[in-house]
Structure 1
Amino acid sequence: MLNAGRALALNAEAGKELPRVGALGALYDMGVRPRHGEVIMIAGRSGTQKSGFALWWVASMALPTLYFSADMSAFTASSRLASMVTGDTTEEVEAGMARGGRDRERYLTALATLPITFSFGSPITWSQVDQEIEAWIELWDAYPGVVVFDNLMDFEGAESDYTEQMAVMQGVTAFARDTGATSIILHHASDKGWDAKTAPYDPPSRDQVKGGLSEKPELSLSVALDPNDLEYKIACIKQRMGPSDPTARRYARLRAEPQRTRFHPFHWRG
């Protein structure tokens, strides 16, 4: 239930473009416009840095974010964020935390600059989501600006059941409508198709996203990582209010830096 003030705030913010991130300029140039209050899917094959990209994106936007992580441990998520802020590698963060003292304090101070709160545990349940949202409202008297669900198949009962996965997507959509929070959900694409074998480092097309569920959000992004040169490709395979390419053959290029959970504008290397 929404009081009049919250309802007005939700309607005022809905539809506005999310804060732009400089490194994503090539994506914006393609006409991609992520917006407040939307359901956004990030889909990709295994090992394509979906979690790392989502974490970097929300940290770069600097909006109050609640991140439900069933795919990363608490240490992995926090070390990735500390690495992102300080520029140290995750291995350096781990070693510094083990040493303690000034190194430990430096990383903890770096994490305190980010408006991101985590909820860990697998599977993700709607009762867990309700509890975390209630706690957030009690603390801040507002909903989060962004909520990340990592990932769809880690919801209770949704590991392999299409009906449950569809129910999760319906739940996420209702959640976004009720709260006004931009809701980012991560999902898998097939590793077994012909394209996965012949072009494994290209973003999967819309029909390769498991369960066909990329058609449900307002915006669906398909991602891929080339482990050889760390080229990161992002295709827009569904966008309700703008251009998209369900074949994923048109994509933006970034340069990934996985050891620091950073992404950079793409420049050709000679």
Structure 2
Amino acid sequence: MLNPARSLALHAESGRELPRVEAFEALYAMGCRPRHGEVVMIAGRSGTQKSGFALFWVATMNLPTLYFSADMSAFTASSRLASMATGDTTEMVEAGMAEGDRYRQAYLEALAGSRLTFSFGSPITWRAVDEELEAYVELWDEYPQVIVFDNLMDFEGAESDYTEQMSVMSNATELARATGATVIILHHASDKAWEAKTDPWSPPSRDQVKGGLSEKPELSLSVALDPNSLEYRVAVIKQRMGPCDPTAKRYASMRCHPEVTRFAKLDLSLRSKPAPLQAEPAWSPADAVMGS
């Protein structure tokens, strides 16, 4: 049992803000403050680059990260990272790896400083999570600072069972408390709601997130992609320690470059050329550039 003063002293460090990503400047300007030790949900309709957004976010922060991917194959995830790091499209990465020699070596060197560790497999099980965490601690002698689950409905038994989905959210919260890691969990919003048909390029409101589960995390982000302008829209539909808009009518805009899995501050001059990513002390995807 802790009194308020001791609790604050013990947990102040775990609640500090996550490293900022330059591309998310408009999101921070809205008062969004993702923090260490929180559970964060990224929700959106199908095909809205949720995985790309999460992958870009954690790769650019470059904190020690354990990424559970049931939604992406091993090749898709790794080629996206290489594409992000070099600015080459995933098709170019695939061709370069097949070509071998200096092309293959350049891509491998581009990823050498990454602090992401992947676990692939579907469905995700809590036994697998425990085993991966044990292996991670055995290897690095610490817990990861970020844990990503891609996505909630890929957990065993959670595809359509609301009770199991609630259990996943409860376990994710417990995991964040026990390890001090930020837990990012991806989830779907309804594709059948009226808004999905009449206004498909706007972020879904809180009540469109399947199962009402966006109310459980400390921070819930709703995302949407306009395929015509490639404008990426992010709304804060739940934030325990800051402003939010459950209707998702107020959102931050940034530029999405899906061919290279990059995001940038919204600027008309960026239509044909992605902006470099924010550099971090250890490594950032923009540090490596593919040689000719």
Which residue does 1:135 correspond to in 2? 135
Number of residue-to-residue matches in the alignment: 264
Contact 1:82 1:107 in 2 (8 A): yes
Contact 1:26 1:252 in 2 (8 A): yes
Long gaps (5+) in structure 1: 1-6
Long gaps (5+) in structure 2: 1-6, 272-292
Per-residue deviation, residues 55-84 of structure 1 (Å, max 9, x unmatched): 000011110000000000000000000000
Q: Secondary structure at the match of 2:259?
A: helix
Which residue does 1:36 correspond to in 2? 36
Which residue does 1:174 correspond to in 2? 174
Per-residue deviation, residues 93-134 of structure 1 (Å, max 9, x unmatched): 010001011101111111112100000000000000000000
Which residue does 2:223 correspond to in 1? 223
Which residue does 1:124 correspond to in 2? 124
Which residue does 1:19 correspond to in 2? 19
Matched, 1:98 2:98: yes
- Pick which of 83-92 and 7-16 moved more: 7-16
Q: Where do residues 1-270 of structure 1 align in structure 2 (5 Å cutoff)?
A: 11=11, 13-268=13-268
- Pick which of 53-62 and 105-114 moved more: 105-114
The aligned amino acid for 2:138 is E
Q: Secondary structure at the match of 1:41?
A: strand
Question: How has the CA–CA distance of structure 1 residues 81 and 9 changed in structure 2, closer, same or farther, with 3 Å as cutoff?
Answer: farther
Question: How has the CA–CA distance of structure 1 residues 222 and 150 changed in structure 2, closer, same or farther, with 3 Å as cutoff?
Answer: same
The aligned amino acid for 1:173 is T
Per-residue deviation, residues 121-152 of structure 1 (Å, max 9, x unmatched): 00000000000000111111110010000000
The aligned amino acid for 1:120 is F
Counterpart CA distance in 1 for 2:156 and 2:111 is 30
The alignment's C-alpha RMSD in Å is 1.6
Which residue does 1:3 correspond to in 2? none
Per-residue deviation, residues 170-227 of structure 1 (Å, max 9, x unmatched): 0100000000000000000000011000000000000000000000000000000011
- Pick which of 59-68 and 7-16 moved more: 7-16
The aligned amino acid for 1:49 is Q
How high is the TM-score relative to the length of structure 2?
0.88
Counterpart CA distance in 2 for 1:191 and 1:241 is 29
Contact 1:10 1:179 in 2 (8 A): no
Per-residue deviation, residues 147-172 of structure 1 (Å, max 9, x unmatched): 00000000000000000000000010
Counterpart CA distance in 1 for 2:124 and 2:232 is 28
Identity, % of aligned positions? 75
Counterpart CA distance in 2 for 1:254 and 1:151 is 23
Counterpart CA distance in 2 for 1:144 and 1:169 is 19
Counterpart CA distance in 2 for 1:176 and 1:80 is 27
The aligned amino acid for 2:90 is T
Question: How has the CA–CA distance of structure 1 residues 171 and 124 changed in structure 2, closer, same or farther, with 3 Å as cutoff?
Answer: same
Counterpart CA distance in 2 for 1:181 and 1:112 is 23
Counterpart CA distance in 2 for 1:204 and 1:21 is 23
Counterpart CA distance in 2 for 1:17 and 1:200 is 32
Counterpart CA distance in 2 for 1:166 and 1:190 is 17
Counterpart CA distance in 2 for 1:247 and 1:207 is 8
Counterpart CA distance in 2 for 1:58 and 1:10 is 26
Counterpart CA distance in 1 for 2:258 and 2:202 is 18
